[in-house]
Chain A
Amino acid sequence: MRTPIRIVSLLLLALGADAACAHAFLDHANPLVGSTVRAAPREVTLSFTQDLEAGFSSVEVTDAHGARVDAGKPRVSANTMRIGLRSLPPGTYRVRWHVLSVDTHKTEGSFTFQVGGP
């Protein structure tokens, strides 16, 4: 078993100058993915597992009819992306995001959250 471990170690060592980054997964969101919030949020915050390229990362929020309810441009800082929201009446909203990590890996996803109780 030691030989394969040595081979892997040598490979990692040989390529160590290549700074490692990875696909950016959604780590957590506010509002939480799939959650129901009583008060309408003023913005959506998405935190990822890797830093993002601001120019190639975006997010939009739509209501149950597909109409945009976000306001302004997405703001990207390191691994976090935010976007403001208009005043949201009770209902279900979908957040769709699409990001590029700093090593040019693309990922995307979407989720919903609800405003107001049933």
Chain B
Amino acid sequence: MSRLQARQQSRLSILAGIRGTLPRLCLAPGENPPLSLCFGSLPVSSALAHCFVGARFLPATLITDDPCVADEMSLPTVAWSRTGDVPPASQWDISGEFSKRITEDFGVSIGEDWSHIRQPGAPTMQGFGDLETTFQYQLLKDRTHETAMLLGLVVDWGGTGSAAFGTSYSLLTPTYYFGQGFGQLPDDLGWARPFAVTGQIGYQIPTTSFIVSQDTHVPQVLLYGASLQYSMPYLKSEVKDLQLPDFINHLIPIVETQLATPVANNLGNSNVTTGTINPGVIWVGSYFQVGMEAMIPVNRASGTGVGVIGQLHLYLDDMFPKTIGQPLIGGGSATPAKPAF
């Protein structure tokens, strides 16, 4: 799951409904807080694994997650946006994430983010969010049909962040991820074969349902997102080599969206959905990728104007194939199979 992103968006979704209670939650009476001060910040994320399924390569996406475990690191992911407050607060988010395969099909990730928010007439806020860990298990990789499925549990550890950006309670988010390449389309639709979709859906459960001191319910939140991508590397190597410039052949244009909707224990609050739609592009190399996307809020509660997010993502399994790029268990002893068609 797009850990940090999901946490932040779910909080945004919460506060969009209970904005009137924010001063009671975390500010002194009379202060006019940026929306994201109390519950976190707008989308910034480190994404997880890059992913090979047959001939299909699914890159690490920026605000959602791809459906594979891998050894990799997103460092840094940097985002700038403006909140939905009046006047809007300017927000920077910088995050990093390290992902490690324990076995070939099981991996663990750890991530952290740092945010800086400045609103005209209000004090500048900055600090770390709660530490996040994710446990993921690879359910399926179907090479022939370019299909991948993954199950994960995202844990945001309450009490590990700063006073401004952390929470006192933890968040548990069981999440299902999928990816599907269109490589099985017939040859007369060859132009469409480089398309692929990925998606995820998670249900976020806080370890506290009610904050007594603030007289506020902490809702359970549905987190869902998807990406539609067009792989120029796939076009070149699987469909038609148009002999385009090498730089173009490494690009994957993409549109991502990540949304959060409170669905339970949201008494007294609205159920407004928040999130962004992100068009952008990812350049894919042999050892790393670089991605850049615009962040377009889906509504007023999700932000003001267009933000931007960028990420450098390192493929540790390619950079260090004999050390940290191997699963901790069973990685070094695996004997490659003789190819069979």
Contact = CB atoms under 8 A, between A and B. Distances in A.
Report whether chain A binds chain B: yes
B315 interface: yes
B145 interface: no
* A-B residue pairs, 9 tightest by C-beta: A34-B240, A98-B339, A22-B318, A103-B321, A22-B286, A109-B55, A33-B241, A26-B237, A58-B339
Given A4-B76, A20-B321, A22-B287, A112 B187 contact: yes
A24 to B, nearest CB: 9
Contacts of B325: 18
Given A26-B236, A103-B321, A106-B336, 12 more contacts: A4-B76, A4-B96, A8-B75, A18-B323, A28-B241, A29-B241, A33-B241, A34-B241, A53-B336, A55-B338, A57-B339, A99-B339
Given A23-B286, A109-B55, A35 B241 contact: yes
A45 interface: no
Interface string A5-23: 0011000100100111111
B128 to A, nearest CB: 13
B143 interface: yes
B243 A32 contact: yes
Contacts of B339: 56-58, 98-100, 108
Interface in A102-118: 103-112
Contacts of A108: 54-55, 143, 339
A21 B240 contact: no
A13 to B, nearest CB: 12
A98 B336 contact: no
A23 B320 CA distance: 12
A18 B320 contact: yes
B240 A56 contact: no
Interface in B83-127: 94, 96
Name the prevailing secondary structure of the B interface residues: loop
Contacts of B59: none
Contacts of A29: 241
Nearest to A50: B286
B225 interface: no
Contacts of A51: none
B263 interface: no
Contact of A33 (B94, B236, B319): B236
Interface in A58-112: 58, 60, 96, 98-100, 103-112
Contacts of A111: 237-239
Contacts of B94: 1, 4
Nearest to A21: B321
Contacts of A32: 241, 243
